[in-house]
Amino acid sequence: MVEILINNRELIEDRVGAEIVIKKIADLDIDSDRGVEIDPASLTTDAMEIINDPEIDIIVELIGGYDQAMEYILMAMERGKHVITANKALIAQYGKLLFETAERYNVDIAFGASVAGGIPIVRALREGLAANQIKAVLAILNGTSNYILTRMTEEELSFNEALSIAKRLGYAEADPALDTDGSDAAHKLTIIISLAFGRPFAYGDVYKEGIDGISPEDIKFASELGYCLKLLAIAREADGHIEARVHPAFVPLDHILANVKEAYNAVYVEGDFAGPTLFYGLGAGRRPAGSAVVSDLMDMARNQIKGITRRVLPLSFARSPAKELSLKPMDQVITEYYFRFSAVDRPGVLSKISGILGANNISIASVIQKGRGAHDSVPLVMLTHEAKERDVRKSLELIDKLDVVTENTVFFRVEKETGI
Amino acid sequence: MVEILINNRELIEDRVGAEIVIKKIADLDIDSDRGVEIDPASLTTDAMEIINDPEIDIIVELIGGYDQAMEYILMAMERGKHVITANKALIAQYGKLLFETAERYNVDIAFGASVAGGIPIVRALREGLAANQIKAVLAILNGTSNYILTRMTEEELSFNEALSIAKRLGYAEADPALDTDGSDAAHKLTIIISLAFGRPFAYGDVYKEGIDGISPEDIKFASELGYCLKLLAIAREADGHIEARVHPAFVPLDHILANVKEAYNAVYVEGDFAGPTLFYGLGAGRRPAGSAVVSDLMDMARNQIKGITRRVLPLSFARSPAKELSLKPMDQVITEYYFRFSAVDRPGVLSKISGILGANNISIASVIQKGRGAHDSVPLVMLTHEAKERDVRKSLELIDKLDVVTENTVFFRVEKETGI
């Protein structure tokens, strides 16, 4: 972020028409080489020096975490400073409080870097697509997971093999849990649905599953069936009900999202007038995050030049949306499903399983039953037509108790176009 | 545009915090059913009624063409009205004059609908990616051409067969020349480079070729070689030199742009900090264009509420960019090439051809020479390493004069990542 302000200083000044000056930088470590030229006098270990400096108009919070970051942001806003943060967890957990505080002190709070790094999706939702009712969002928001799934698909690796490559290449942290268990994507989806629907949703509103348990077998079946497996963050709105969920899903190979590979992120948005749109790019990393932070900074500078604040409110709604909205419980979600049953290789198994499915309103679209192998148990793979999550859970509970079924059934949701 | 203001009135008011009222609509035909409910009293055949109405703050120009549209826009700006236009040809031809006039009368001019319809790329370049030096743009900006190339690729049709399907389905006009000869894409690229580099480039600055002459044979070879053929609008900046060109190009099949099919548009942008980004969606049609126009309208309404104008200038540069920029002549462009020679099936041909290429600094990356066929003449296909356009033109002129060469050589440029 400092690097981009230095490297592109001239361009930024040409665009904004004013200079953006870095007055102070607070960090616990002010001795290490930062890779950019900074006046040592502007470095401090005391964040309060910044918060109490009346000459500073805007603070940028890049600490991460909750308590300390929250405290600093609230204090800065109380002192009339605008805030830019890349802290997705903070916005997703405490967005409501932060936005109310910003309103109380008549300041702006921007968080473009908190979702999808270099992809200007926050701005697209707030402004570019602002005239649209957002009908659906299907997004790949965690680069680590997407990288792991790409390796598992292209090199037929196990989850653990792909994870260790990701770690070696710096795509995964030493503790990758927040990435691979869906939490990171769920934080980002919380922010996206808040922007799309104009309410500060909270992290707990989003259902989540990770990619940890995915077996190469299912990735292989996916590809045989014309799909790939992606960790999707999904929001859909219909009749005032909103679905918000993060989980691995089957995506048809000819869908543009299926072509989002490696550590890339992408957000597919369906607006009622714009139709389907996709925003693709690097979701993480110092440089893409810097691009987002400085873009927010330029936005605020443009406001300062005109002597205004709060031109576009944090969620881009000037008032509470009139439209009634409620979260759809996960068990009411309707989608298509992929099942992989492990069953003994004996006549009558398919009939038992399909009997239970049929009795629970689940109709089968296709079946792959592999010929007899060397094992006692063979995989039986199915794609269903649209079914309700509750019916699926109930059926699988019954099926997994059958004596011909040898292991818990694996299932994935299948996500297609919503057909706008 | 009227439809979206009516359908999404509540949402738009919630977001903006004020009502956007359609005061008057001028059209030559005010009797036909418009498909939306409009107070007949707001319809007029006299555009001057709008231009002279002091209660009207913003006019939206959706006439198209040059003279009449230009006249109305200039008159509206003289009277202090802000202008929104979807008229890409006008902005691409007369952007400089229009932006200067807007400055003189202290009004805003917005043209988000003029490029790529429902894709908020203008806003992304002006704001979301504003902190970046734009290094490259590779874009699919003409839906008709992309639809035709998709049909030619997937169903192995000729250009004319694909064109007639496009016409039947409404993807091509009765006179499709502006779409298929590259003019439409060149207009849009003119606007994109103006935004990216902060200068009002003119349409004539962009080199252009269309897709009319493309033969199914080259599409087949492309796919054998791991590429597809797309009509690309390309801008690249390096060392102050800008390339701006529209032509069919080979795109590697694993590039995200290769997956932009049917009538979709997409703009691939490389920023120096954001890295590669892609913006994808519907580039044409009443509804996507309406999304863009109303988004601009909301932007202006937000300014009006704050009592400001010209917060972000038309090209998003507050002053002329300091960086020196010059257009690179087409013959200086360097890229990889695909050649299809038609030559007699005789020993020594390859040596003659490669001799001329070598003498002109063109080195060959790979060759496909099909076995002897029933014809006198056989295709000889080559991919080159990076070469200069001037050298290519010169070599092909010499090669096409060889007595062993039976037809003019077909060539396409091959566009890859720029490797940021």
Give B203-232 pLDDT, tens digit per residue: 999 999 999 999 999 999 999 999 999 999
Please judge whether A119 and B321 are an interchain contact, meaning their C-beta atoms are less than 8 angstroms apart: no
Predicted confidence at residue B102, as pLDDT, reads 98
Please judge whether B322 and A10 are an interchain contact, meaning their C-beta atoms are less than 8 angstroms apart: yes
> Is 90 exceeded by the pLDDT of residue A369?
no
Kindly give, in sequence order, each residue whose CB lies less than 8 Å from that of residue A150, ignoring residues fewer than 6 positions away.
Answer: A261, A262
> Is 60 exceeded by the pLDDT of residue B420?
no
- Please say whether the beta carbons of A316 and A333 come within 8 A: no
Q: What number is the average pLDDT over the span A195-213? A: 95
Question: What is the residue-averaged pLDDT of chain B?
Answer: 94
> Is 50 exceeded by the pLDDT of residue B15?
yes
The residue assigned the tokens 């076995």 is: B371
ipTM field: 0.96
Q: Which residues of A are catalytic?
A: 188
| pTM to 2 decimal places | 0.96
Give B294-314 pLDDT, tens digit per residue: 999 999 999 999 999 999 999
Nearest-Cα distance to chain B for A282, in Å, is: 7
Q: How far is CA A33 from CA A9, A36, A37, A46, A285, in A?
A: 21, 8, 9, 19, 19
DSSP A114: G
Name the residue among A291, A292, A306 with its Cβ closest to that of B308.
A306
Predicted confidence at residue B371, as pLDDT, reads 64
Q: How would residue A324 be classed by pLDDT, with cut points 50, 70 and 90?
A: confident
Question: What is the residue-averaged pLDDT of chain A?
Answer: 94
User: A71-75, A109-113, B236-240: lowest mean pLDDT where?
Assistant: B236-240
Predicted confidence at residue A374, as pLDDT, reads 57
CA distance B266 to B280: 4
CA distance A364 to A414: 13
Please judge whether A124 and B124 are an interchain contact, meaning their C-beta atoms are less than 8 angstroms apart: yes
Residue of chain B whose alpha carbon sits nearest to that of A112 = B128
Predicted confidence at residue A345, as pLDDT, reads 86
Backbone φ and ψ of A204, nearest 5°: -65, -15
CA atoms within 13 A on the CB side of A267: 30
Q: How many CB atoms lie within 10 A of CB B34?
A: 14
Quick check: is B370 catalytic? no
Residue of chain A whose alpha carbon sits nearest to that of B18 = A318
- Please say whether the beta carbons of A396 and A340 come within 8 A: no
Nearest-Cα distance to chain A for B272, in Å, is: 9
| Residues listed for chain B | 420
- Please say whether the beta carbons of A152 and A219 come within 8 A: yes
Give B98-119 pLDDT, tens digit per residue: 999 999 999 999 999 999 999 9
Please judge whether B273 and A260 are an interchain contact, meaning their C-beta atoms are less than 8 angstroms apart: no
Kindly give, in sequence order, each residue whose CB lies less than 8 Å from that of residue A338, ignoring residues fewer than 6 positions away.
Answer: A218, A221, A222, A225, A227, A250, A381, A382, A383, A384, A411, A412, A413, A414
Nearest-Cα distance to chain A for B178, in Å, is: 24
| Residue of B24, B81, B88, B188 marked active site | B188
Joined tokens for residue B354: 């490669």
- Domains annotated on chain A, with CATH: 2-119+285-306 (3.40.50.720), 122-282 (3.30.360.10), 332-414 (3.30.70.260)
Give A275-314 pLDDT, tens digit per residue: 999 999 999 899 999 999 999 999 999 999 999 999 999 9
